Amino acid sequence: MNLRPLPCGRFLLALALLAPLASAPALAAADRDLPVAASRSTLDALAGRLLPAYVFIGGGSGVVISADGLVLTNHHVIDGEDDLSIRFANGAVRPSHLLGTDPVGDIALLRIDDAHDLPHVDLAPASALRVGAEVVAIGNPFGLGNLDDVPTLTQGVLSTGRMVRGDYTDAVQGDAPVNPGNSGGPLFDMYGRLLGINGQIRTVSGFRINSGIGLAIASTQLAAFVPLLQQAQGGLVHHTAAPKDLELAARMEGVVVENAGSSSLMAGDRLLLIAGRPAVSVATALGLFASLPWVPGSAIPVRVLRSGEEVTLSISPARQVIPGRPYHGLSITDSDGRIVIETVDDDSPGAQAGVRIGETVVSANGRPVLRKIDWLKAVVKLEVGDALDLELRAKDGAMRTVHIPLRRQ
């Protein structure tokens, strides 16, 4: 892709992740239903309402978004963590399990086991994500709360409206101080609505401390991804991506298609809106193509200026690759003309799906497995987030199928 280098990609950008040295959520009331805005003075009461929904997770933070225990945090907070226990600010510790995670967009959804009637917060509507709005962040900066269970509350304003920053394709920027340990924690407006999940800071100092630039994954993106995360059965969800071979260029008048690639766009189209958001720069346009959850048959509405007329097209996005090597944890061997499972790694996706040593692989993802090469052909094209469906025959001849979601090794 004709990707003009991002201005921020060149040198020493400490794109610091904030983890330390580690039922569908309700949407809140529309703005018009709310009283006139609050200010610093009402923080006391607001904090009392929000703190019960805040949780410590590992070295980071999270927030409860439903009475039955849905918890949002960052993917990078729980990535590689065995212990998903959640600690409330009153010191109560509860076990939880992973429902689904989005490694690209950096959101993970957990559920607290056997939870009901929990204090929780609502997601803010898009109208609340406006520049200048007062915000409050709650987190565990520098892990200070690990000794005393006391979370940290910081205040600021939104520095931007919804925008794109690298993989954070639907994000807001705030100047409330956030530091390592704020990761996964909530950013609220002064009505206590969840504006976003804090996940990154931008700094050139090389030190992972607040620079007044905190990036949070916007509530609009959370709302779009939570339903898929809920259904992911502990697996991964994908993002969309710009159509293959699409090339864009920045011109005086705006962002223009140079090469439409595999899409139904045309060279010379000027991009106006992608998924309803303005395509103000090449980086933003590419980011907007990647801002939605991918499902088979996904379509992105794109408004373009073509030969002087505005046209809205429905573009089929690509599926974004989740970086990393896909991992199933199985190895096979050829035994008397049969392909049998030779080893199953402990706690691997294969082991979790119940695959046992010595079982014969009959087919993989619908294709018969007769020789080693068949197995290799079946697994070589799989990516992180894909699944390996195996037909297995046990030693006693019983047939069964297993579904193995591949995760990152």
**Which residues participate in catalysis according to the annotation?**
76, 106, 183
259: helix, coil or strand? Answer: strand
The C-alpha atoms of residue 178 and residue 167 are separated, in whole angstroms, by: 19
Site for another protein in 48-107 (CB under 8 A): 48, 51, 90-93
379 sits near another protein (criterion: CB under 8 A):
no
CA-CA-CA-CA dihedral for 85, 88, 92, 95, to nearest 10: -20
Minimum CB separation of residue 117 from another protein in Å reads 18
12: helix, coil or strand? Answer: coil
Return the closest-CA partner of residue 104 out of 21, 225, 279.
Answer: 225
The residue within the footprint of another protein, chosen from 24, 97, 119, 205 (CB under 8 A), is: 205
Q: Which is nearer to another protein, 92 or 357 (CB)?
A: 92
Minimum CB separation of residue 172 from another protein in Å reads 10
278 sits near another protein (criterion: CB under 8 A):
yes
Minimum CB separation of residue 45 from another protein in Å reads 8
Label residues 384-398 b or e (16+ Cβ within 10 Å = b): bbbbbebbbeeeeee
216 sits near another protein (criterion: CB under 8 A):
no
Minimum CB separation of residue 262 from another protein in Å reads 25
Please give the helix or strand (H or E) that residue 51 lies within, else none.
none
The residue within the footprint of another protein, chosen from 47, 98, 260, 370 (CB under 8 A), is: 47
Longest dimension (CA), the chain: 78
Span from 150-158, 230-238, 322-330, 337-345 in contact with another protein (CB under 8 A): 150-158
260 sits near another protein (criterion: CB under 8 A):
no
End-to-end Cα separation, the chain, in angstroms: 28
255 sits near another protein (criterion: CB under 8 A):
yes
Span from 60-68, 248-256, 259-267, 333-341 in contact with another protein (CB under 8 A): 248-256
Span from 173-181, 341-349, 360-368, 382-390 in contact with another protein (CB under 8 A): 173-181
How many residues interact with another protein (rule CB under 8 A)? Answer: 78
Minimum CB separation of residue 327 from another protein in Å reads 29
The residue within the footprint of another protein, chosen from 61, 169, 211, 230 (CB under 8 A), is: 211
Give residue for tokens 């048959």.
297
Alpha helices, H only, 177-324: 219-230, 282-289
Instruction: Reduce the secondary structure of 361-404 to three states and give it as a string.
Output: EEEECCEECCCHHHHHHHHHCCCCCCEEEEEEECCCCCEEEEEE
Span from 158-166, 224-232, 317-325, 370-378 in contact with another protein (CB under 8 A): 158-166
Q: Are 385 and 406 in contact, with CB atoms under 8 Å apart? A: yes
404 sits near another protein (criterion: CB under 8 A):
no
The residue within the footprint of another protein, chosen from 22, 27, 34, 209 (CB under 8 A), is: 209
Q: Which is nearer to another protein, 207 or 310 (CB)?
A: 207
236 sits near another protein (criterion: CB under 8 A):
no
Return the closest-CA partner of residue 214 out of 255, 184, 247.
Answer: 184
232 sits near another protein (criterion: CB under 8 A):
no
Binding mask 110-149 for another protein (x = CB under 8 A): --------------------xxxxx------xx-xxxxxx
Token pair of 161 as six digits? 């409206």
The residue within the footprint of another protein, chosen from 164, 217, 232, 387 (CB under 8 A), is: 164
Minimum CB separation of residue 147 from another protein in Å reads 5
22 sits near another protein (criterion: CB under 8 A):
no
Q: Are 201 and 186 in contact, with CB atoms under 8 Å apart? A: no
The DSSP-derived string for 86-97 is EEETTS-EE-EE
3 sits near another protein (criterion: CB under 8 A):
no
Minimum CB separation of residue 179 from another protein in Å reads 6
213 sits near another protein (criterion: CB under 8 A):
yes
How many degrees, rounded to 5, is the angle at CA 171 between CA 168 and CA 173?
115
302 sits near another protein (criterion: CB under 8 A):
no
Which residues sit opposite 338 in a β-bridge?
Answer: 335
Return the closest-CA partner of residue 196 out of 178, 175, 221.
Answer: 221
Minimum CB separation of residue 299 from another protein in Å reads 25
Return the closest-CA partner of residue 402 out of 322, 328, 327.
Answer: 328
Q: Which is nearer to another protein, 209 or 260 (CB)?
A: 209
